[in-house]
Amino acid sequence: MAGSSPAMMAMVESVWSLDPKLATDTVPVGDLALTRVLLSNNANFPWLILVPRLPGLVEITDLELNEQVQLLGEIDAAARVLKSVTECEKLNIAALGNVVAQLHVHVIGRRHSDAAWPKPVWGAAKPSAYSPALRDGLIGALRRGLKITDRERAER
Amino acid sequence: MAGSSPAMMAMVESVWSLDPKLATDTVPVGDLALTRVLLSNNANFPWLILVPRLPGLVEITDLELNEQVQLLGEIDAAARVLKSVTECEKLNIAALGNVVAQLHVHVIGRRHSDAAWPKPVWGAAKPSAYSPALRDGLIGALRRGLKITDRERAER
């Protein structure tokens, strides 16, 4: 669908909806061309989740090649902005999907001092919700870095 | 470097070497255009590791865009072949690098009955080495699927 017309993308998106568990565990940052960018509501790790807004996806291999390249570009952008904003020491990038089937990609900033290092973050430490001020400041910086300005779409 | 001449690729490769821990924990499957494909010597999970043969890489964002696209193509190929050969139920694809800094991408076939499901595989179960017959059969099938024929390179 990458490269399709805005009208076509809007039609396909109209039958897509965010997985309820992803919605519960995150706050929206905003939409890039292909993916909805979410911030995991867990202050232990700066942790973005990118969800392609196309219905029925489980594996990266379910995307057509041009869609995969678009996804990769958005992962690259999210990773660079997350690293710049949080000054993290390492990135972890992963598409697992063992618990939530809807295709989603984790982009996580890691520090040698974080609650799980050097282990992966999944299941490693009890989630700790952001304070509203910290969360909103982080989301604002991420939106500026990702050049997301369409607040209405991000919050729907 | 993707798109560079074979001579240029050979020169750059000549200063690249596989991380010793990755070498110890895996057996080589063979080389694709950009990456060396390794099989984790752990029969609990069918688990490939793709390592770009360029020196000094830590993050996917260290690659230029055309190299990222080449890496994505090789991840896609490895994932499809792994799924076809092992008939796994889910793919886990991840670039973590918290323990081994050299950029490497995990492509792991998961089953609902495997030793860690639905958790991630890292640190989840004691590794169990393949029998030589099972290992060689799997590597042969992976090489055929990936159209790797240059045995000498794979074994160096």
- Contact criterion met (CB below 8 Å) for A56 and A20: no
The answer to whether B79 contacts A60, with C-beta atoms less than 8 Å apart, is yes
Give the sign of the dihedral formed by CA B44, CA B21, CA B10, CA B65. Answer: positive
Q: Where are the domains of chain B?
A: 15-147
pLDDT digits (tens, 9 = 90+) for B45-96: 999 999 999 999 999 999 999 999 999 999 999 999 999 999 999 999 999 9
The backbone torsions φ and ψ at residue A109, rounded to the nearest 5 degrees and listed phi first, read -90, 130
3-state secondary structure of B11: helix
Q: Does B120 touch chain A (CB under 8 A)?
A: yes
Query: Rounded distance, CA A8 to CA A21, Å?
Result: 27
Q: Which of B83, B94, B123 sits opposite A93 (nearest CB)?
A: B94
Residue B14 has pLDDT above 50, yes or no: yes
* Position A156 confidence tier, pLDDT thresholds 50, 70, 90: very low
**Mutation to test the B interface, candidates A21, A60, A66, A98, most B Cβ within 10 Å:** A98
What CATH number should be reported for the domain whose range is B15-147? 3.30.428.10
The answer to whether B73 contacts A61, with C-beta atoms less than 8 Å apart, is no
Structure tokens at B92: 């886990």
* Position B3 confidence tier, pLDDT thresholds 50, 70, 90: low
The answer to whether the bond into B118 is cis (omega within 30° of 0) is yes
Q: What is the interface pTM, i.e. ipTM, of the complex?
A: 0.90
A62: number of CA atoms within 13 Å, CB side? 14
Q: Does B145 touch chain A (CB under 8 A)?
A: no
Shortest distance, CA A107 to any CA of chain B (angstroms): 10
pTM of this structure: 0.92
Structure tokens at A56: 């029925």
Environment class of A14 (CB within 10 Å of its CB; exposed 0-12, middle 13-18, buried 19+) = exposed
Strand partners, A107: A48, A93
The answer to whether B60 contacts A69, with C-beta atoms less than 8 Å apart, is no
Q: Does A65 touch chain B (CB under 8 A)?
A: yes
Cβ contacts from A onto B, under 8 A: 90
Residue A83 has pLDDT above 90, yes or no: yes
